[in-house]
Amino acid sequence: MTAIRYRRQLRFGLSLAPDAAAPLVRIAQDADRYGLDYLGIRDHPYQRGTADTPTLMATVLAATTRIRVLPAVACLPLRPPAVLAKAIATMDRSSGGRVALGLGAGTSWDGIETYGGVRLAPGGARRALEEAVQVIRLHWSDQHGLRFQGEHYRTAASQAGPAPAGQIPIWLGVTGPESLRVAARVADGWIAPSSRVPPKRLAEGQRRIDEAAASAGRNPFDIRRVYVLEGSIDGRGSRGFLHGPPRQWIYELTELAVGHGVDAFLFGGHPDQLPAFALEVVPAVREQVARERAVTAVKHRS
């Protein structure tokens, strides 16, 4: 993989755990005030003490002015895609187009079953995820007489709607080889958590997406690469990948962007570390990546 292939403008955001006891709206407003691009809200409805993610999204959108909000990622087995499509489109219209959609096939199946969801084998969950993307896009269209007959989802609505304010990107939070191929075929982006996709696995995931996208007749450049940064920023010295002072984070994120093609980062550390991420790390990474891309572009032309 060469850096010249990935030159999409960098985006930065926060991955927020919806702990009902935390000042969630204030944290979201801070992220908005600091100039971050995205607020991803995790979706674990089966966990005790968590706020409902779509409800929190609507509240946050009403309390902020510019940041784009998404479930990162929506728990599909507990969120019927047709209903989810309506909720996301409604929020997009009411916020002036500040919504994205992250989708996951489901992983914590014990918790999902306790809330009435149906446990699926990996292959079934993967097929359900691909069908869900089709159903959601169908409901966001201007078609009449919607009909979809899949293995897991069926719809026969008389008409679509409401239509979103604009094109809502759909990003898939997946890690397995076959699921990555699904993302390459049908999604607008790939969300990879650093705990499950460390740098040594990231290149392989990127390669799989590139190859599957090309095989499907898509331009791999059109698929955004989102990396969830599960770490901590502090001054106690380096303690491994994404655990250390701001200068370490600046180096590691620059390498992820230039060397691995990541073009969006969601900070998943403690909200108390948000100022350090947004005000120290983000501007320095933007500057360093721009500098290294310029050098790479000159070498590529010569």
DSSP class of residue 277 equals: I
pTM over 0.85: yes
Phi and psi dihedrals of 16, rounded to 5?
A: -110, 125
Q: Is 262 helix (H, G, I), strand (E, B) or coil?
A: coil
Q: Considering only CA atoms, which of 180, 261, 172, 176 is closest in space to residue 221?
A: 261
pLDDT in tens, 176-233: 999 999 999 999 999 999 999 999 999 999 999 999 999 999 999 999 999 999 999 9
pLDDT in tens, 237-273: 899 999 999 999 999 999 999 999 999 999 999 999 9
Q: Considering only CA atoms, which of 5, 3, 60 is closest in space to residue 211?
A: 5
Q: Considering only CA atoms, which of 172, 12, 24, 184 is closest in space to residue 107?
A: 172
Give the β-pairing of 243-244 and 264-267: unpaired
Cα–Cα distance, 112 to 106 (Å, whole number): 8
DSSP class of residue 2 equals: -
**In this structure, what token pair is assigned to residue 199?**
């740098």
Q: Which domains does the chain have, with CATH numbers?
A: 3-301 (3.20.20.30)
pLDDT in tens, 80-127: 999 999 999 999 999 999 999 999 999 899 999 999 999 999 999 999
**In this structure, what token pair is assigned to residue 35?**
């100039």
